[in-house]
Structure 1
Amino acid sequence: MAEARSAVSELRVPPNLEDGRDSWKIFLKETRKSLIRGYYRKRNALRNGTWPTSTNNLLAVFLIVLVLLLADPAPPSRPLSLRPPPNQQPVTFFARIIWRLADYAPNFIRNAPLWLQACFLSWIVSASFFIVLMKIRQYLLRMLLSYHGWMYAPPKKVPTKIKIWAVCVRLVSGYQPSLFSCQRSLPLLPVPPLKQTLKKLLASLKPLHTEEELKKLKEQALEFEMNLGSKLQKLLVLKSWWAPNYVSDWWEKYVYLHARSPLANNSNFYGCDHSHWQPTSLPRARAATVAHLFLVFRRMIDREELRPLSLRSTIPLCMAQYERIFSTIRRPGEDEDELVHFDSSESRHVVVYSRGLYYRVDVYDSRNQLLSPTAFEQQFDWINEHSLKHKDSVCMEWRQMPALTALPRPDWAKIQKQHFSSGLNLETLQTIEKAAFMIVLTEESPPPFSEKASWLLHGDGASLWFDKCFNLVVFGNGQCGVNAEHTMADAPIIGHMWEYAMTKEVTDRLYTEKGHCIPPQRPFQQAKCNQPIWLLWEVSVDIQKSVSQAYDFSIKNNADMHLIVKEHSAWGKGIMKGFGVSPDAFIQLALQLAYFRDSGSRQKFALTYEASMTRLFLNGRTETVRSCTSETAAFVRSMSDDNIPREEKIKLFRKAASVHQELYRQAMTGQGIDRHLFALYVCCRGMGYKSKFLEEVLSQPWTLSTSQQPHQQLSQIPDCNLEPFRDKVSPGGGFGPVSDDGYGVSYMLPSDHSIFFHVSSKHSSKLTDSDRFINHIFKSLNDLKTLFEG
């Protein structure tokens, strides 16, 4: 198009690349960087591979053996017995045994001086000892971490047995691990017994089916267990012996990459910044600071300076998902998408979207230093002026290009193959793919909480690049949030990065009184920075048509989403703890009561999905807690019966809460239901079989999909219950409903004084209404509080 051709003159060429005058300097500089990066990667790989044994142990043993050999430099002239002679010291006897190994050394070693022979033997002995010690400690730690009895012990009254176990874990673990050190010592996810899974499954379906339906399911389950299920179970057990995780690779492939629905409102999730406090009202200063903090977080991951998370300061969690939260893209495919991750050496820029125009911003200066927030703010100011000047020089479809990523995956794959496989469009697309992340600078200023959350979930139809690992969205009033793609990492991982940046804004002074970024302190000096590069598109008539249709589809899809975010500020988890109930169980029971009331005269219960983690195991991701149990149903029905005494209702409540906690623990320790059933189904289809039983139980819709948002994952964080920090907590984030006639509920318990709820549904459904349901949630919470207070 004419707009694209006329805009080519705006394309900036980075300094020192205009000709070949400095090619040798550039070559030497890049070679030096590559060697340094290679050194640190090899060093980290060595440390991670040998943890929990330190390479210092290798050096210590080498020196000790060398001293012993040099203290007795004469090799034995006669055969040694297994016991030292009475007149010979054990140390000397041990040294002579080692000297005997020289007989098996190559000739050039045996003919070498004694000191060289001693060095060679010391190295052989110390290396052998080190490898044996390393393997023993790794397997011993894996065995210790396979024990999960600690999860059932109350934190305030820990039994002696658990204390001894914790001491053993810390002794075997040794020194503080780096980010990926614990991976080799994590246990493998076990395959639960088939009979156990089927028994739990039928129990979970009891509140949702009639007696006749349950009888039929029991017959199908028994037939499956005795025939096909037994074969599939053996295959899963076999896979669990050699695969890092028997389910995670299939989960990523078939649940995420094989899904053909649009990412917007279906897969991607969002997160919000501070609830009531705002550090600055200047959007570009806010974008600069948060982007800088994100890149510092990436540097900590690359250097493995970020410490692995642990439960109760003892039990490490799997950190594998942190490898891909930056510089990752989900490429569309007609049948299956592809997740592509770029190394940090290839991804040295971010891409900024402003007024429909895209810009590449290099994040390092000429000295390979990370850009400071002040430097970022200057870059964003330039982009703001440039986009304001040129926003009318391009067609509407140019500005709506991100709408293509909101299409169903096969449609976007066909368009990308047809129009983005060569030329200028391919270059721009590759720049976006290799970016560390996206930054969206929008002039919109939606009010909190619901309107802001809706924008973060699906944008305005033409701003968010949903394929990208995550989009940092900064609004015109200085507020911000994040939209993240789900395939590469789960919410707790993005939440960890987000919490790091938001906490820094609270604890550190990052803005001036006028709201601008504070200049870096001396002796740091920012070197020369490349000017942002305007990324161009070649927009043909066919692309215009595709983009226009994609935008219309996106607007229609977004209009159907009904998202409500509301704060319950009357009280928080402190009240629940005072009742002696787990806050998560308390809220889950309130959600079940709310849904029962929301169903009206139908008086229905919902198949409920509550996300739990399995990161106690290698490459673990999530598991499902089926929160709607028979005990929960009994309690919920009792709340509608005035003839049941209050004490009986409390008894039913505590029983339901206890069962829920037990299910949650089982899910965390690899004894859940749904990932096992999913893996059985994949095996079944892969072997060419069909199972009516598996298809029926796995096709039931998750009418109520819930998740508790992670918080306080940092080791050092201000107490959110203190008055100065109550307005600075995050309301968390959320997601769209899983079922067209269901609800998606996300909740955050940041302090003892407030709870945030994110409730999503679809306007097109005649059964759901987010406003109505969140009112039922609030009423249920207050009814439960009244029940306990009498």
Structure 2
Amino acid sequence: MAEARSAVAGLQVREIVRERSSCENIFRVWLRTAVRKYHRVRNSISNGMWPTSVHNICILCVLVFLFMLSDIEVAESIKELFWDTGDKLHVPHELPATVRAIIVACFISVVLSVVFMKLRQIILRSLLSYRGWMYEPTKPGQKYLTMLWCIAVRVVSGYQPSLYSCQRSLPRLPVPPLHDTIVRLLDSLRAVCTPEEMKVLEMQAQKFESTLGPTLQRLLYLRSWISSNYVSEWWEKYIYLSNRMPLAINSNYYCFDQSYAHPSHIQSSRTAVIIHNCLVFKRLIDREELQPLVLRGTVPICMSQYERLFSTTRVPGVDIDEICHYSSTESKHVMLQHKGFFYKVDVYDAANQILFPTTLEHQIEWIMEDAKKHTASEAEASLAALTTLDRVTWAKIRQKHFADGINRESLSAIEKATFFVSMNDLEPRGLTERGKLLLHGDGRSIWFDKSLNVQVFKDCTSGMNCEHSMADAPAMAHMWESTVTREVLEKLYDESGRCMPPGKKFKQYAILRPQRLVWDISPELEKDIAEALAKARKANDDMDLFVRDHDSWGKGVIKKCKVSPDAFVQMALQLAYYKENKKFVQTYEASMTRLYLNGRTETVRSCTIEATEFVRRTNKWWRVLGPFSILELRSRTLPSPSTMSTDVAQQTIPTSPPAWCPGVPRERDPVIFSGTDEQDVEDWLSSYEQRLTSWLRQTIEEQVCEALSSTYQPPPVSAPLTYADVGRRPAHVPSNVD
């Protein structure tokens, strides 16, 4: 331990003020603590009172005071009621009337404000429970009822909310009826189960609904009353913390920075700016100055996940893991890994200011020079590989080798860090290799237990790896987008790529030199580390990832076809999987539930009966029209989703390509295919495949882009393909025809 502490000393950098006397330091520490507690209490009161505020109480107090001293005869009875309230409060009559009026006015204004506050919170919670706006387009096209609802929400809501102000007004996650839950479950299974399997499932569902189901439903209702969110707690405990699989690849996720543009070519400068920007975002969270997210400028969403973005670690356990979140007083440093060494870098100076990027840059350069003077052992450089093990094995190793001594102290420094930063000498070639390194690293460059891992490569590209149990990707993406955006919007680098120096008025107070962690690695621990690294690299090699930059067209083209981009991607996934495996499987899509208090995600089953029918029919047309013309076919011939109730008997299948299809001679008017043999359909497809092949290869993308940008309408077809043709089987087509 003495060797670890010997690295602590003052670092000489530009514009650093010397430490003051010990008495003055004690006073400054006490003052900072008092100010921090004051802001914490103030934010708690403000959040508890929202959508009202202290200003409303003050204004109401003044109005009541003036009313009590006024000579309005019409409201004499109300004035007498106010003065009688003073008598019931035993306000001494010896006091002047003005003083008595002030006391009574303060009491009445507080009581009325509390009543109005609770009333507004209840009304706002009821208004926010309305979900009809989600199924309506934005202006124009909204119903008058929805527009009135928007106005009511804005009137009842307060102004200038802080980060957690809207939490008390968010509705709780409702419990769906038991019958609806069972029906939706069966519908989600119908697309992937055989008729025989569905009969068994339906019998089991009926038995469950009449026996055990109602009892469990009542218990679920009871839990929803006593819990802020009856799903999120179970989701975090049983889906994440109870999972014994390794975090690497299986749970943690990653995010890029800019794909190609990099604001600096100096690794230390880029790392310093990223650390600084992350700390600025953390300060906004700590002070609750970050504006809460609001959908369509009206509907707030839950912001509780932001509390654990930083200074959070997932501690492994034999049976279940534990999430440890540290306060700002405990977590005042970041952990930086470079050339196999771990460095504890204090990111606040003696005045509790965030270190300026130039100061951080000097700290990092000192680390780079220090790492060159030493050589880390293979075991020490591979310590992070232990976090790639399954949770049971890692928990046992942690209890055995990191329970006391210098290993415990060094591990505690990592777990209490604000976040983990890795500066390595890897230079990823292309997006795919960078994605793999951000997802799993080289087996020892990511501390997977930390909520946030930032990697900065030698070529100054960067990204983050995040632990999933603390928060979902949208919250982390918000932080990361703010971090990389500040690099562009603010001038943080000079022309040479170095960090911009601070202004003349800025003074950076004394800081400590980075502390290199020291470990006591026994032969047994060294063996465990080597085995962990070997398993990690084997898993990394077995993981297949391909990242492609698709810039030909994006969501704008999809929206022109009046299709949801999310639905388009989901159907593309179903089609791709079916073309590869010739079958359908249950599909998981995460849907955000942050419209409710403490909401996280819920499962959406995108593999439905309609989706499977769409995929089968699209797969038939694919060989003839190609992917882009399928998209054009949807926009040209299918009505909007509101017409999905079209009579099935009127659905037809054209026997020739649409007349607007370029490059195809129209030999005859379309007729209705009435055959019942699947071979007839195959023969028809083959007859047109030869004529379209050359055109598909040469002009498909050009023609489709031109067609999408044009405004002409295709000529009417006697037998148009309806939307229901894609979603379900026509009545006159037998079941053996796919």
TM category (shorter chain) comes to 0.7 to 0.9
Is 1:563 equivalent to 2:562 in the alignment?
A: no
CA–CA distance in structure 2, aligned partners of residues 788 and 491 of structure 1: 37
- The equivalences for 1:385-534 within 5 A come to 385-390=369-374, 392=375, 394-534=376-516
Q: Which of 201, 206, 223 does residue 190 from structure 2 map onto?
A: 206
33-42 or 558-567, larger mean C-alpha shift: 558-567
Q: Residues 638 and 644 of structure 1 are in contact (CA less than 8 Å); yes or no, is this contact kept in structure 2? A: no
- Structure 2 Cα separation of the partners of residues 623 and 47 of structure 1: 31
Distance 1:352 1:162 in 2: 51
Paired residue type of 1:619: N
- Counterpart for residue 97 of structure 2: 114
> Does the 8 Å CA contact 1:592/1:636 hold for their aligned counterparts?
yes
Give the CA deviation at 1:12. Answer: 1.6
In structure 1, C-alpha distance between the alignment counterparts of 2:442 and 2:127, rounded to whole Å: 51
Matched, 1:632 2:611: yes
Closer/same/farther in 2, CA of residues 621 and 58 from structure 1, 3 Å limit: same
Is 1:352 the equivalent of 2:336? yes
Moved more, 354-363 or 113-122: 113-122
1:334 deviates by: 0.5
Residue identity in the other structure for 1:165: W
1:786 to partner: Cα distance: 9.2
Whether the 8 Å CA contact 2:8–2:512 is kept in 1: the answer is no
Kept after mapping to 2: 8 A contact 1:589/1:657: no
The reply to whether residue 246 of structure 1 matches residue 234 of structure 2 is no
AA paired with 1:589?
A: M
Equivalent pair of 2:561/2:634 in contact (CA under 8 Å) = no
Amino acid at match of 2:549: E
Match of 1:592 in 2: 574
Task: Tell me, in whole angstroms, the C-alpha distance in 1 between the residues paired with 2:114 and 2:637.
Answer: 51
Q: What's the RMSD between the two structures over aligned residues? A: 2.9
Amino acid corresponding to residue 143 of structure 2 in structure 1 = P
Tell me what 1:318 maps to.
302
- Cα 1:644–1:330 shift into 2, 3 Å: closer
**Is the CA contact 2:305–2:475 (under 8 Å) kept in the aligned structure 1?**
yes
Alpha-carbon shift at residue 635 of structure 1 (Å): 1.1
One-letter amino acid matched to 1:549? E
Matched to 1:466, the amino acid is F
- Aligned-partner residue type, residue 39 of structure 2: Y
- Are 2:134 and 1:151 aligned? yes
Contact 1:365–1:527 (CA under 8 A) maintained in structure 2: yes
For 2:265, give the aligned amino acid: S
Pairwise CA distance, 1:22: 5.2
Change (3 A) 1:450 1:557: same
Find the counterpart in structure 1 of residue 7 from structure 2. 11
Please give the secondary structure, in 2, of the residue aligned with 1:563.
coil
Q: Could you tell me whether the CA contact under 8 Å between 2:10 and 2:510 is conserved in 1?
A: no
Taking structure 1 as reference, are residues 450 and 21 closer, same or farther at Cα in structure 2, changes over 3 Å only? closer
> Which of the residues 176, 197, 213 maps onto 1:192?
176
- 1:486-508 CA-to-partner distances (Å, cap 9, x unmatched) read 01000000000011011112222
Q: 1:785 to 1:638 in 2, by over 3 A?
A: farther
| Alpha-carbon contact 2:10-2:511 (below 8 Å) kept | no
Residues 316 and 616 of structure 1 are in contact (CA less than 8 Å); yes or no, is this contact kept in structure 2?
A: yes
Where 1:280 maps in the other structure, the secondary structure is: coil
**Matched residue type, 2:286:** D
Q: What SS does the aligned partner of 1:378 have?
A: helix
Q: 1:655 Cα deviation (Å)?
A: 8.4
Q: In structure 1, what residue type is equivalent to 2:583?
A: K
Q: Distance in 1 between matches of 2:549 and 2:218?
A: 48
Question: Does residue 57 of the first structure (1) align with residue 56 of the second (2)?
Answer: yes
In structure 1, C-alpha distance between the alignment counterparts of 2:332 and 2:622, rounded to whole Å? 68
Question: Partner residue of 2:69?
Answer: 70
| Larger gyration radius, structure 1 or structure 2 | 2
- Give the TM-score taking structure 1 as reference length: 0.78
Letter in 1 for 2:8: R
Distance, in Å, in 1 between the alignment partners of 2:355 and 2:163 is 24
Classify the secondary structure of the residue corresponding to 1:239. Answer: helix
Q: Deviations over 1:366-387 (max 9, x none)?
A: 2221111111111110011101
Give 3-state SS (helix, strand or coil) of 2:160's partner.
coil
| 2:585 aligns with one of 606, 610, 617 | 606
Q: Deviations over 1:600-645 (max 9, x none)?
A: xxx1012111111000000000011111111111111112335999
Alignment of 1:137-148 (within 5 A): 137-148=120-131
**Pairwise CA distance, 1:27:** 2.7
Contact 1:40–1:303 (Cα < 8 Å) also in 2 = yes
Change (3 A) 1:381 1:651: closer
What is the letter of the counterpart of residue 425 of structure 1?
A: N
Q: Which runs of 5+ in 1 are unaligned?
A: 73-87, 662-780
Alignment check: 8 A CA contact 2:561 2:635 kept: no
Residues 632 and 653, structure 1, Cα contact 8 Å, conserved in 2: no
Q: What is the Cα deviation at residue 283 of structure 1?
A: 1.2
User: Aligned partners of 1:589, 1:316: CA distance in 2, in Å?
Assistant: 30
1:102 aligns with 2:101: no
Question: Is the CA contact (8 Å cut-off) linking 1:264 and 1:457 kept in structure 2?
Answer: yes
* TM value normalised by structure 2: 0.83
Output the CA distance in 1 between the equivalents of 2:354 and 2:20. 26
Per the TM alignment, residue 154 of structure 1 is displaced from its structure 2 partner at its CA by 0.8
Instruction: Show the counterpart of 2:311.
Output: 327
Q: C-alpha distance in 2, partners of 1:563/1:254?
A: 28
